[in-house]
Structure formats: structure tokens, C-alpha cells
Amino acid sequence: MTNSQNLICVTCPRGCSLTISYDDQDQITITGNQCKRGAAYAKAELSDPRRMIASTVRIRGGIHKMLPISTNAPFPKGKIMNLMAFLKSVEISAPVKMGDILIENVLNTGIAMVASRNMEKID
Amino acid sequence: MLTVHAYDVIVIGSGPAGLAAAVSAKKNGVNSVLVIDRDVEPGGILLQCVHSGFGLETFGEDLPGPSYAQRYILEAESQKINLLMDTMVLDITSDFVVTVSNETIGVQRLQAKAIVLAMGCRERSRAQIRIPGTRPAGVYTAGTAQRWVNVEGLMPGKNFVILGSGDIGMIMARRLSLEGARVNRVVEIMPYLNGLSRNYVQCLQDYDIPLFLNHTINKILGKKRVEAVEVVRVDQNRKVQPETAEIIPCDTLLLSVGLIPENELTRKIGVSMDPITGGAIVDNCFETSIPGIFVAGNVVHVYDLVDYVSQDGTTAGKYAASFIQCNWNSNRRKIPVIVEEPLRYVVPQKICPDTLRESAIRLLMRVSYPMEYPVQVSLFTDQKEILNKTYPYVRPGEMVSIQIPKSAYDLIMASQEVRLKVLRKE
């Protein structure tokens, strides 16, 4: 008996419609992907779903109140709200450069939070 | 007001289109390039688009919006491009006089030899979609909410309904959920999603936010603050079915109901406009009907990928450089690009067959309605079909593109027009 399941790949804006079929031995076949990342996404989505998380943290001394930040790798889906709660307690001081690691190994995931832009210190 | 400063190329707008055009003009040998923007820092709307998904085409990397902008800002700095921020452009003439105003210089005139218009677009608001009801606080466009949350650190409400399934609306649904707000639902009047499918998955499904297709907001309720909205189903003619009305309590309504290219200045100059795109009619050099006035980015038509905005901005900047370097023939031959239903529009609307000697020409199109089956996009000269491309499906929210290769030069030169069709693939 063959089972199948549909997913939309979120890796890039193309958004391929993927079909994942299982055969008798539980071997999976992925179709519909237009690149290799689609297959990797489908496999990860079934075992350990992750997402890139972009958010903001408070910054002191910058042109704006908030600094945009992002995870440097896809983050476990189940811990996203814990991450958001943690980020509320974070405050950074300007200046910051794009790519600066602001928090290492956030929530023991091995993933870092990095600055998405430069922000100079202003008086 | 009489002071006149001269530049070679003046670019209006410092978003991705303007920065790409400025950098490209400079790299193509232009001496002085000035970029003017009304915001206090360059980067445009990307600065508030903190989510990732930008740059896969341009850089082969998945970048957050501010990082994508930062790369172009750094490049503009290293190319010594002049930036004039916090400044409004009041007027532009067809002989390239730009009147600007800001707090320190008052009103000033600047003279250019060519202009690139890159003002982007703005959001449709409540007034443009005429939602009945009271006029309480708590009705915002999605982009305004995005600015508040991502730049200013303010939450516009606690309990949201979002009208419109465009990308900004869905991205804000996720962003607000992450920030602890409740997003009751996203309501879409059309029978299909308006944004990218990936955003339905990662912004709505991931956060259990229901999407109501064929529904709209019929009424806003509340005196000082939004208290509820009335959601109704619509029939296939988008006519409201009052018996389906449902009152949904909420304190904030976000509107993600489309973008309008911001062309007040363009119209003032007297450039010919395309009523469907809301932008100027352009050729593949992104020159408008007025020689030396170029346009780039969302001011031409609403793109769905910033990567294409940058690429087309680069093209506009390159030809703006050619224009002032006098290796430019304003009377060069142009032939129309014609689209047939279900294609709604194409950009550019004209092509210069000559330019195919240097580089391929990309045509960007949108369809009027979704076709959820394999289709073939075909390009015809007045003689025959010369190329085609297969898509597994086409949707209004996802741009369709086809590239005319350099090798088609002879065929295009011999033709009076090119024509695009989309047909179901058997």
C-alpha cells in the first residue's frame, strides 16, 4: 500500500508543491521539488521541523528603538515561543554591525542570533 | 530657492531599486550620482521587513530584508554615491530640474542630466476599499503595523483580524503571533490566496491562523476603538451575502489589500502611464516616454521579489548612464509587447530590438486568475512562436517571467511586435 502526503516547500519564494509517497517498506519518495533543497526540506519537515526566525530586540543608543535580528540557522519549531519570550528580556547597545553574533547558542540549541543590519551609535 | 546644484544622475528613492540604479550608473562611468529620499536613512521598506527570504536570486543566500538593504547601502557608500536624506522632492521637470525641500536647506533646485524615479509604492487604505461602519482607532495598513512593531517597538493591538491575503498581511499575521497577539483570521475576498504559497504555510498554518477565502469585511464596529468586524461570505461575483454575516470581536483590523505605485511625481513630469500597472510605460531600458527619465522598481509595477527589483534597477541605472554619455539614440526603434488574456499586463510594454545585441530581455507578467494546471507561456513574433516556457501552474500572486535570448535578435528585428499567450498544456 502506498501512502502520500502533500507539502509546500518554504525554502524559497518559488514554493514548490511537494508530494511525499511512502511505499510498503516506509521508504519515502519526494516529487514536485525543482531543486535539491526541496527534498531536504521535506525530510526535515517530517522528522524535525525548523524555521528561520526573524525578530527584533531593544537597542540602546541607535537611530531606532528596535534592532532587527535573525537566527543564523533554521530553529526548532517547537521552541519558537520560548525563543520569543527570551528575546523580550534582551537589550543590545549600539553600535552593531550586520552579522554580529548577539546571542550564542540561544536556549542551548547551538543556534546564534545575529544582527540583520548595521546600527551606529548616535548621541 | 535659486541655488542650483548639478549632478549627472539624480535618483529619487533609496530603496532597493534606487540604490541598485545609483550603484549601476556609477559603475557605468557616471561621475556624480545623488540619491534623494524622504526617510532619515537609506534602505526603503526593506528596513522594516525583518523576515528572511530576500536575496536568493541575487546573492544565492536567504537574507532578512535589512541585510539585503545593508549590502546595497554599503556598496553605495563604497561607490561614493551622494545621499540626501530626510528630503522631499516637490517637483521634477522634463528637462531634469528637481526641486527639493528639507529642514536645513529650505527649498532648493537641483539640475541633473538624467533622472531615475524609484519611489516604490504605497498601500491601499480603508478609504480606497470603502469599508462601511464607524471610524474608530485601530484600523491600520499592514505596512504601518509592520513599521510600528519592527522599527518602533510598538504593538498596534492585541486581537487582530487581517483583511487581504497579500504577503505583507500574512507576514504580519506571523509577526504579531510571535509577539504574543492573537490573530483571529485572515479574510480574503478572492477565491484564491493573493500572496506566495510559502507564506500561507510558514505564516498562517504554522500559527494556526485560519484563512477565509471568498469572504470580506462588511462593517467595522466600535466607537473610539475597533470592537468587532462583520465578516461576510461573497458569491462568485464578489457580491456580499448578508445572511452569512458573522460578528468577530477584535481590537485591530489590518488591511493588506494591495499596493499602488507612487507616481505623483511621474505624472507631474508628463510621462505616459499604464492604467493597469499604475506605473509608467517603459521599454526594456526602463526609459519612459520622456527621454532621460528612467524608472525602477515598484514604481513601475508591483514586484513580488526584491531580487528582480534590484536587477531591473541595475538596468535602469546602466541606461541612464548611456543616456548622459551620449551613446544613446532616443529615436531607436521600439516595438510593442502585447499580452492576451489571461495575462493581465507585461513589463516592459515595449522593447528595443537593438539592445538584444548586448543582452537578453526579461519580460515580467501577471495573470488575471489562477490556472492550477500546467500551462505554456509562449512568445510570438508577427510570424511565428519563437519560444515558450512551461509552468506547473500560474497564479496572480506569483509573477510569470520569460526571457528573450540574444539569439532571437534577427527574429525580433524582423517583427513589428511581440505577443505573449498563456495556454493550457495538454
Task: Report all structural domains of chain B as residue ranges with CATH numbers, in order of start.
Answer: 1-122+258-331 (3.50.50.60), 125-257 (3.50.50.60), 333-426 (2.60.40)
| Residue A93 pLDDT greater than 90, yes or no | yes
| Residue A122 counted as domain residue | no
- Could you tell me the CATH number of the domain that includes residue A84? 3.10.530.10
Instruction: Give the mean pLDDT of A43-70.
Output: 94
Q: Please tell me the predicted confidence (pLDDT) of residue B106.
A: 93
Q: What is the dihedral of CA B217, B223, B225, B228, to 10 degrees?
A: -30
Query: What's the distance, CA B164 to chain centroid?
Result: 17
Total domains in chain A come to 2
Kindly list the residues of chain A whose beta carbon comes within 8 Å of any beta carbon in chain B. 7-13, 15, 17, 51-56, 58, 63-66, 68-70, 77, 80-81, 84, 98-99, 116-118
Contact flag B70-A116 (C-beta cutoff 8 Å): yes
Say whether both A78 and A110 belong to one domain.
Answer: yes
> B199 CA to chain A: closest CA distance, Å?
8
What does R_g of chain A's alpha carbons equal in angstroms?
Answer: 19
Residue B392 with chain A: CB contacts under 8 Å: 17
Q: Are B48 and B145 in contact (CB under 8 A)?
A: no
Cell of B346: 507585461
CB-closest option in B152, B178, B198 to A15: B198
Say whether both A80 and A99 belong to one domain.
Answer: yes
Say whether both A42 and A76 belong to one domain.
Answer: no
Query: Rounded CA gap, B413 and B210, in Å?
Result: 52
Say whether both A66 and A105 belong to one domain.
Answer: yes
Q: Are B50 and B340 in contact (CB under 8 A)?
A: no
Say whether both A24 and A58 belong to one domain.
Answer: no
Say whether both A59 and A86 belong to one domain.
Answer: yes
Say whether both A39 and A74 belong to one domain.
Answer: no
Say whether both A60 and A36 belong to one domain.
Answer: no
Residue B47 with chain A: CB contacts under 8 Å: 68, 117
Residue B40 with chain A: CB contacts under 8 Å: 63
| Residue A20 counted as domain residue | yes
Residue B145 with chain A: CB contacts under 8 Å: none
- For cell 504559497, the residue is B197
Q: Please tell me the predicted confidence (pLDDT) of residue B3.
A: 61
| Residue A81 counted as domain residue | yes
Q: Please tell me the predicted confidence (pLDDT) of residue B2.
A: 56
Query: Rounded CA gap, B232 and B240, in Å?
Result: 7
- How does residue B283 score in pLDDT terms, banded at 50, 70 and 90? very high
Say whether both A86 and A41 belong to one domain.
Answer: no
CB-closest option in B63, B65, B196 to A13: B196
Q: What is the pLDDT of residues B185-221, one digit of tens each?
A: 999 999 998 888 889 999 999 999 999 999 999 999 9
Query: Rounded CA gap, B320 and B22, in Å?
Result: 9
Say whether both A23 and A71 belong to one domain.
Answer: no
Say whether both A104 and A88 belong to one domain.
Answer: yes
Domain with A100, as residue range(s), is: 54-115
| Residue A107 counted as domain residue | yes
SS3 B238: coil
**Total residues found in chain A within this entry:** 123
CB-closest option in A8, A54, A81 to B50: A54
Say whether both A109 and A65 belong to one domain.
Answer: yes
Q: Across all residues in chain B, what is the average pLDDT?
A: 95
